Structure 1
Amino acid sequence: MAAQETAVQGTTSRWKKFFREVKAELKKVSWPTRQELISYSGIVFVSVITVSILIWLVDSLFNELLHLILR
């Protein structure tokens, strides 16, 4: 029974250490300002839309080429 208690205490202390270290690392992070976050989000949104349109165009082109080949 003592071995189980020791194992549980060891596991608990490892989790506590893990979360302490996570908290310490998060304090080191350089978080963006609200304006930077809005700007970066806009850039990501425009990039996703642009790449989506390009993929759609290439897919449409290949679809038409395939139809021409199979006719």
Structure 2
Amino acid sequence: MNLFKYFSESRAELSRVTWPTRTEVLEGTQATLIFLIGLTLIVWLMDTLFGTAIHTLLK
């Protein structure tokens, strides 16, 4: 397959793609950020608790 045919077929395939709307992208981004912030807080809390517990046990 030559390069021209490859790009031609790729362009045709991309024209058939159903792209998400702006609202869908923003909602997905918002959900991802909320999840990551929550997960970060959970990991931070666990790190703090275990660090304090280990520090107390080794003291």
TM-score between the two structures when normalised by the length of structure 1? 0.65
Larger Rg: 1
1:1-71 matched pairs, under 5 angstroms: 14-71=2-59
Root mean square deviation of aligned Cα: 1.8
Structure 2: stretches of 5+ with no match in the other structure: none
- Could you list the runs of 4 or more consecutive aligned residues of structure 1 that deviate by over 6 angstroms after TM superposition? none
Q: What number of residue pairs does the alignment pair up?
A: 59
More helix by share: 1
TM-score between the two structures when normalised by the length of structure 2? 0.76
Between the two proteins, what is the percent identity of the paired residues?
Answer: 34
Structure 1: stretches of 5+ with no match in the other structure: 1-12
